[in-house]
């Protein structure tokens, strides 16, 4: 009987199954109540008493080896099944196309990189703000038109809680909590209650910069602007500053660049002037510094702000602002090479 057990053990060691059905057939053949191991167990009663101990040990070894082999084969099938479950057979065989960065993200990163080379660090703040940080601290008069419902989204009819209309609120938060020198750039989304058209939207993106330190002058501002214009557009870009008005800067100016399409010669894009406006800027009003706890007699500073959509329009000649928020794949694919 021991010879029969050993022969069956070798047979068990070489068991193979191509699929789960064959494995189940093997299990029934060897381990079922009418299987070969059960038949050997029945014959065990006829073994001589002095051989029962040895034969019993061989039978136990055979049964254990059989169960282990069946389990090994079963585990192999389960692993293959798990691997197959991870494969979506409905997917196309072609490689999956990678997405592209949004043009606004590309331009925002480029702006931040340029000012980063000038030593500016990125600062961020909440999009839901209060009146103080958006208006009052920035020297807006109580009757300023920007406070009107036509321009600002207020939260739950509360005149003190609103969606920020510019990222200048980030500047005031930094000035309140940080002592000069301050050199920050504030990118972010802003909201204004405007009719949506090819040239305006109810939300858009801004980048504002602030530099506050001792002896900061308008000449420092002009050099930073000239560096930015040449880095963003081309080394041949020229700038000009026109007097303007902003509640939070004095003196204030709007900056134009020589048209990057016609090179300043005049074209329909620049309306024949050769110049295109891109941002507003100026020296930080002393009242703003004082409102934020900074001594205006010791420190001075400059601030500037631009719309990312505006810069993207100039850089890529996108004529309709609405295209930036429509997620049209045909439009976005045009910027694959810019990633």
pLDDT value for 149: 61
Question: Which residue's entry shows tokens 């002393």?
Answer: 286
* Reported confidence tier of residue 255, pLDDT bands at 50, 70, 90: very high
Q: How many CB atoms lie within 10 A of CB 280?
A: 19
* Reported confidence tier of residue 87, pLDDT bands at 50, 70, 90: low
pLDDT value for 278: 92
265 pLDDT more than 90: no
pLDDT value for 284: 96
Say which range, 54-63, 84-93, 250-259, has the weakest mean pLDDT.
84-93
Query: Which of 33, 24, 34, 29 lies closest to 8 in space, CA to CA?
Result: 29
* Reported confidence tier of residue 252, pLDDT bands at 50, 70, 90: very high
CA geometry: angle at 234 spanning 230 and 238, to 5°?
A: 60
Q: Where does the chain show beta strands of DSSP type E? A: 121-122, 128-130, 154-155, 158-163, 182-191, 203-213, 239-246, 249-258, 275-284, 300-307
With a CB cutoff of 8 Å and minimum separation 6, the contacts of 207 are 108, 111, 112, 167, 185, 186, 187, 305, 306, 308
φ, ψ (nearest 5 deg) of residue 139 = 75, 25
Q: Which conformational region is residue 4 in: left (phi greater than 0), alpha (psi within -120 to 50 degrees), or beta?
A: alpha
Question: Is the Cα torsion angle 156, 322, 324, 313 positive or negative in sign?
Answer: negative
Question: Which residue's entry shows tokens 């039978």?
Answer: 59
CA geometry: angle at 210 spanning 120 and 306, to 5°?
A: 95
pLDDT value for 338: 62
Domain segments of the chain: what residues?
Answer: 2-85, 103-338
Say which range, 23-27, 90-94, 310-314, 326-330, has the weakest mean pLDDT.
90-94
pLDDT value for 61: 83
β-strand partners of 328: none
Second CATH level (architecture) for the domain 103-338: 2-Layer Sandwich (3.30)
pLDDT value for 80: 57
More confident residue, 171 or 21: 171
pLDDT value for 15: 80
More confident residue, 270 or 252: 252
Tens-place pLDDT, residues 212-241: 999 999 999 999 999 999 999 989 899 999
- Give the DSSP letter of residue 261: T
Whole-angstrom Cα distance, residue 72 to residue 67? Answer: 9
* Reported confidence tier of residue 141, pLDDT bands at 50, 70, 90: confident
Mean pLDDT (the chain) is 86
- CA distances 104 to 41, 67, 207, 310, Å, are 79, 64, 11, 10
* Reported confidence tier of residue 327, pLDDT bands at 50, 70, 90: confident
Count CA atoms closer than 13 A to 286's CA, side-chain side.
5
Whole-angstrom Cα distance, residue 153 to residue 128? Answer: 10
Query: Which of 278, 330, 281 lies closest to 107 in space, CA to CA?
Result: 278
173 pLDDT more than 70: yes
Grouping H, G, I as helix, E, B as strand and the rest as coil, residue 209 is: strand
82 pLDDT more than 60: no
CA geometry: angle at 98 spanning 97 and 99, to 5°?
A: 120
């Amino acid at each position: 009987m021991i010879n029969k057990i050993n022969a069956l053990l070798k047979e068990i060691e070489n068991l193979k199954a191509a699929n789960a059905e064959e494995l189940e057939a093997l299990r029934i053949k060897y381990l079922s109540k009418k299987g070969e191991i059960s038949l050997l167990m029945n014959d065990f009663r006829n073994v001589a008493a002095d051989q029962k101990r040895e034969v019993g040990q061989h039978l136990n070894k055979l049964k254990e080896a059989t169960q282990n082999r069946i389990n090994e084969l079963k585990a192999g099938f389960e692993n293959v099944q798990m691997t197959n479950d991870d494969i979506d057979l409905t997917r196309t065989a072609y490689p999956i196309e990678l997405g592209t960065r949004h043009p606004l993200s590309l331009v925002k990163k480029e702006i931040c990189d340029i000012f980063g080379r000038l030593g500016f660090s990125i600062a961020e703040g909440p999009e839901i703000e209060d009146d103080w940080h958006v208006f009052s601290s920035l020297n807006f008069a109580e009757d300023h038109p920007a406070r009107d419902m036509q321009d600002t989204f207020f939260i739950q009819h509360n005149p003190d809680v609103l969606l920020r209309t510019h990222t200048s609120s980030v500047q005031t938060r930094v000035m309140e909590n940080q002592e000069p020198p301050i050199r920050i750039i504030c990118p972010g989304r802003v909201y204004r209650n405007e009719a949506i058209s090819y040239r305006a939207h109810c939300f858009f993106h801004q980048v504002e910069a602030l530099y506050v330190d001792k002896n900061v002058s308008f000449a420092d501002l002009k050099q930073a602007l000239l560096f930015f214009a040449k880095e963003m557009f081309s080394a041949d870009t020229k700038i000009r500053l026109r007097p303007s008005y902003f509640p939070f800067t004095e003196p204030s100016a709007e900056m134009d660049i020589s048209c990057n399409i016609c090179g300043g010669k005049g074209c329909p894009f620049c309306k024949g002037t050769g110049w295109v406006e891109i941002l507003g800027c100026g020296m930080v009003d002393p009242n703003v510094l004082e409102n934020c706890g900074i001594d205006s007699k010791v420190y001075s500073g400059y601030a500037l702000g631009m719309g990312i959509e505006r810069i993207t329009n100039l850089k890529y000649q996108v004529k309709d602002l609405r295209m930036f928020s429509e997620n049209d794949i045909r439009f976005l694919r045009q910027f694959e090479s810019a990633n």
